[in-house]
């Protein structure tokens, strides 16, 4: 089984914020694949089904962003055999709005959710980072990532979410290296 985890904060208040784009992508993957996110466990909610012929667990930690590792650690211990079968989706204020970047491993890059996961399972797992920086970043980045996308960014963010879903599907069928070659270049427009 592969696990695709989207990071975010639980609760209506955070639903459409920049920080919750990982949840939004998981919701679209679930809708597209008809996987119901109704099961509770591992300090999160999840659903199990098939995407691109692979058995998948779609997972949303309900621990709040900064404690994401408290949920990801146990779910990996219970359900995962190989960390190469884990993909974590998160926002990234260091990437411009509209950019996506897949990495096979690495640092937290200033993201507290990724930092929490790295503390629990190490840094050798794939992560798909979604750029949420629209224009010049304010000094208070924490408040910024907890804001909703303004009207003038909504069309672009809708396209980015759909592109991220395609990226996840490519990761499932072609692996990380091929997916990175397609999505990490040329403003992340897939070739072909």
Q: Which residues does the annotation mark as catalytic?
A: 19
Query: Do 6 and 129 touch, CB atoms closer than 8 A?
Result: no
Task: Please report which helix (H) or strand (E) contains residue 94, including its range.
Answer: strand 86-96
d(CA 48, CA 26): 12
Helix (H, G, I), strand (E, B) or coil at 6: strand
- Reference 133, options 97, 165, 106; nearest CA is 97
- The residues near 38 (Cβ < 8 Å, ≥ 6 apart) are 45, 47
Query: Do 96 and 40 touch, CB atoms closer than 8 A?
Result: no
């Amino acid at each position: 089984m592969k696990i695709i985890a989207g990071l975010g904060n639980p609760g209506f208040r955070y639903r459409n914020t920049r920080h919750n784009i990982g949840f939004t992508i998981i919701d679209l993957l679930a809708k597209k694949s008809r996987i119901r996110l109704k099961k509770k466990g591992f300090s999160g909610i999840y659903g199990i089904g098939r995407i691109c012929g692979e058995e998948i667990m779609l997972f949303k930690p309900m621990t709040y962003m900064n404690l994401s590792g408290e949920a990801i650690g146990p779910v990996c211990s219970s359900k995962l055999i190989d960390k190469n079968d884990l993909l974590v989706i998160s926002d990234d204020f260091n990437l411009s709005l509209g950019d996506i970047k897949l990495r096979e491993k690495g640092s937290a890059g200033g993201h507290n959710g990724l930092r929490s996961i790295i503390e629990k399972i190490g840094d050798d797992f794939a992560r798909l980072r979604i750029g949420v920086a629209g224009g010049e970043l304010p000094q208070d980045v924490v408040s910024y990532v907890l804001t909703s996308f303004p009207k003038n960014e909504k069309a672009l963010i809708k396209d980015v979410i759909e592109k991220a879903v395609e990226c996840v599907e490519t990761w499932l069928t072609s692996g990380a290296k091929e997916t990175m070659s397609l999505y990490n270049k040329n403003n992340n427009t897939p070739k072909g």
